[in-house]
Structure 1
Amino acid sequence: MSTAHSTTYTGTAKCLHWVVAAIWIGSWLIGIVAVHWRDELNPDHGLTILRKALASTLLILVVARIAWRLTHPAPPLPGSMSPLMQRGALVGHVLLYVVALVALPVSGWFWSSVADKPIMMLGLLQVPALVSPNPDLYDLAKLMHTWTAWACGALVGGHVLVALKHHFVDKDEVMAGMLPRARG
Structure 2
Amino acid sequence: MTQTKSYTATAKWLHWGMALIWIAAWLVGIVAVHWRDEFNPQHQLTFLHKAMASTLLLLIVLRIAWRLTHAAPAMPDTMTPRLKRAAFIGHLLLYIVALLGLPISGWYWSSVADKPILVAGLFLLPPLVEPDKSLYDLAKAIHTYSAWLCGALVGGHVMVALKHHFIDKDKVLAGMMPGRVE
Band of TM-score, shorter chain: over 0.9
C-alpha separation in 1, matches of 2:166 and 2:5 = 17
Q: Tell me how large the CA RMSD over aligned residues is.
A: 1.2
- What's the CA shift string for 1:133-169, capped at 9, x where partnerless? 0001000000000000000000000000000000000
The match for 1:31 is 29
The match for 1:141 is 139
> Number of residues paired by the alignment?
179
Deviation at 1:77, TM superposition (A): 0.4
C-alpha separation in 1, matches of 2:122 and 2:81 = 46
- What's the CA shift string for 1:89-123, capped at 9, x where partnerless? 00000000000000000000000000000000111
The match for 1:11 is 9
The match for 1:97 is 95
CA contact (8 A) 1:7 1:173 kept: no
TM-score w.r.t. the length of structure 2 is 0.96
CA contact (8 A) 2:110 2:117 kept: yes
Counterpart residue type for residue 117 of structure 2 = I
* Structure 2 gap ranges (5+): none
C-alpha separation in 2, matches of 1:66 and 1:37 = 34
C-alpha separation in 2, matches of 1:12 and 1:112 = 31
CA contact (8 A) 1:96 1:156 kept: yes
The match for 1:67 is 65
Aligned ranges 1:138-177 → 2 under 5 Å? 138-177=136-175
* Structure 1 gap ranges (5+): none
Counterpart residue type for residue 156 of structure 2 = G
- 1:120 has 2:118 as partner: yes
Q: Secondary structure at the match of 1:8?
A: coil
C-alpha separation in 1, matches of 2:85 and 2:119 = 36
